[in-house]
Amino acid sequence: MLVVGGGLVGLAVAWELLRQGLAVELIDPGLDQAALSGSQAALGVLMAQVFHRSSGRGWRLRQQSHQLWQEWLSTLQERGHRLQRRHGLLLLAASPEELEQQQRLREQRLRQGIPLQTWSGADLARMHPGLPAAALGGLYSAADGQLDPRAVLQALWSEARAAGLHTCRDAVTSLERQGSRWRAHCRSGNQRQGSWLVVSAGVASAGLLAGLGHQLPMEPVLGQALELELAATPPWAQGEQSWPGAVVWRGVNLVPRPDLAGGRRCWLGATLEPGDQASPARLAELRHWGKAELPWLEQARVMRQWQGLRCRPLGRPAPVLEQLEAGLLLVSGHYRNGVLLAPASAAWARDQILAGR
């Protein structure tokens, strides 16, 4: 089995196939560095239960991954990896229309047996450190939350290599079918072969598949993110429950990271910028969290900034999970939900391969 693309989704596919006893080779020029991939840009926010739809493929994939992440984390933790799923996700409403939508969503989830909470402006005012004063209310999910993508990548790399993963640190330039087998031609001149080929190379997937006659346009969307250190020690650093977890305000995530040095760190991101060039102006907007006007945030010090490319399919919903030919799978185009949907995407690829064999 060949897997092209060493981001979180490609690695998740490789690990799941290895767990089925299959021989897998993963090809990527950066391998575990995953330079400028969507995994590099991700903050790891898991938004399953507060997804705005209640049916369809997107909803089913999110619910499947929600359950699979619990199983995956248990397995990885049993094997000695220190991974923590931080629970709690609060969506803030910036308008009366958003507030009404949140109330309708809460009622839909209750009919599905999924408890969500609507928080009033007075509820938000009791949070410490403070939330944006312009927020009219919020929708809270205790079951959603956040994972550190880098920690998950490290754990999966460790487990995949221990299970016998073969790797090729090279860039694939073209793909070719030869009878019942697939061949990947690499920039170095190397050629790798396999009976199945899984393409999970983000934006580069479209170019590779075009050479086989498959037109699947995708576009890069750049995301920038910041790691901040607060001037004062927040309650979350002391284990207090006065902060709801990850908070989404005007489409931007703020994620407390009490596990990082000093307990005063948080992540802020990510932007949505068409193309592959970072905008200083968008980074400046990000720094102020959608004009939140919060003194504790303005006084924070920027410790790190990073960026990465997300892959958005054009003319179809994300992600793209398709068997294009016998033995050829496309598992890409996850856009902003690569971390959340990695387990369900890996399970889909596994099922296609096991059924095809």
pLDDT, tens only, 21-67: 999 999 999 875 544 456 767 899 999 999 999 999 999 999 999 99
Please say if the pLDDT value at position 269 is more than 70: yes
Question: What mean pLDDT comes out for the span 156-184?
Answer: 96
CATH number of the domain at 182, please. 3.50.50.60
DSSP β-ladder status, 137-146 and 117-120 = antiparallel
Helix (H, G, I), strand (E, B) or coil at 213: coil
The count of structural domains within the chain is: 1
pLDDT, tens only, 65-113: 999 999 999 999 999 999 989 999 999 999 999 999 999 999 999 999 9
Burial track 21-43 (b if 16+ CB lie within 10 A, e otherwise): ebebbbbbbebbebebbbbbbbb
DSSP β-ladder status, 218-229 and 265-269 = antiparallel
pLDDT, tens only, 282-329: 999 999 999 999 999 999 999 999 998 999 999 999 999 999 999 999
Of 223, 197, 250, 208, give the one whose Cα is nearest residue 312: 223
Within a 10 A sphere around the Cβ of 251, how many other Cβ atoms?
12
Predicted local confidence at residue 38, as pLDDT: 63
Cα–Cα distance measured from residue 136 to residue 96, given in angstroms and rounded to the nearest whole number: 7
DSSP β-ladder status, 86-93 and 246-249 = parallel
pLDDT, tens only, 124-147: 999 999 999 999 999 999 999 999
Asked whether the beta carbons of 184 and 192 are under 8 A apart, the reply is yes
Cα–Cα distance measured from residue 299 to residue 296, given in angstroms and rounded to the nearest whole number: 5
Predicted local confidence at residue 32, as pLDDT: 53
Please say if the pLDDT value at position 201 is more than 60: yes
- pTM exceeding 0.85: yes
Within a 10 A sphere around the Cβ of 146, how many other Cβ atoms?
24
Domain of residue 292: give its range. 2-356
Question: What mean pLDDT comes out for the span 323-343?
Answer: 97
Predicted local confidence at residue 35, as pLDDT: 42
Asked whether the beta carbons of 114 and 186 are under 8 A apart, the reply is no
The chain-wide mean pLDDT, for the chain, equals 94
Predicted local confidence at residue 36, as pLDDT: 42
